[in-house]
Amino acid sequence: MHTRRIGNVEVSAIGLGAMPMSIEGRPDEARSLATIHAALDAGVTLIDTADAYHRDAAEVGHNETLIAKALASHDLGKDVLVATKGGHLRPGDGSWTLDGSPRYLKDACEASLRRLGVEAIGLYQFHRPDPRVPYAESVGAVRDLLDEGKIRMAGISNANPDQIRQANDILGGRLVSVQNQFSPAFRSSEPELSLCDELGVAFLPWSPLGGISRARELGSAYAPFARVAEAHGVSPQRVCLAWMLAKSPVVVPIPGSSRPETILDSLAAADLVLTAEELAELDAV
């Protein structure tokens, strides 16, 4: 497995997005555990989660608990960087709400620590700006967690360029990651990707294949990805991830998966080399 860096930690060039294993339409636990174990066997050392990745109101942290169980039951589990997030909530009716208050974020981090069964979280990210709370206060809480040793690295998610710069200042230059939506269907995070490249901050595209319900349609919706895939004898999804990796060495995609076969196909993108002409064709989509 090729590697990249998040802060001072070397991780697999492609991580595993674990959200599909815990929200609506999730598989049974056995398949989820098999998916995580298949990823570990293939060299994955980065798993993305959040306390809000659950379905029902009474199961906050379902995904974190699942990941902790999977890692504890595999010999390679100790080598994985778990990136979790706080500040987003799911009341249990299918909606998403926000709480970026410092008190909530600190309490959420403590709960994530317990569920993950660790003394310090490898990477903790502020999940989404809360318009009711000054951004500096929310990021300031993450800085406090870093200073207290509750988390080893700090990141932000769903941030614009000004917020990236502000967060890095508040964190004293210790911002290591930005997790934003980015895919062929969602290109508006190009400025954030460019800024991360400039700052040397890892950029983690979420929903890199277009989301759970649309990932399978990538080739039919975007003809260039299908054409390049056919030329290489691979899936359009694999081409998509290879295209992202070619954009910058700071890019670390985290495709969501709930089946061993889909995460293994995604991981093979790290070995797919696209020509300059192919990359230009894909960029033009």
Residues labelled catalytic: 53
* Cβ contact 252:204 at 8 Å: yes
Alpha-carbon distances of 140 from 42, 75, 179, 203, rounded to whole Å = 37, 36, 18, 21
* Cβ contact 244:182 at 8 Å: yes
Alpha-carbon distances of 24 from 34, 92, 219, 227, 235, rounded to whole Å = 19, 10, 24, 32, 26
Q: Which residues of 53-83 are buried (b: 16+ CB within 10 A; e: fewer)?
A: bbbeeeebbbbbbbbbbbbeebeebeebbbb
The dihedral sign for the CA sequence 268, 211, 231, 253: negative
Q: How far apart are CA 285 and CA 277, in angstroms?
A: 13
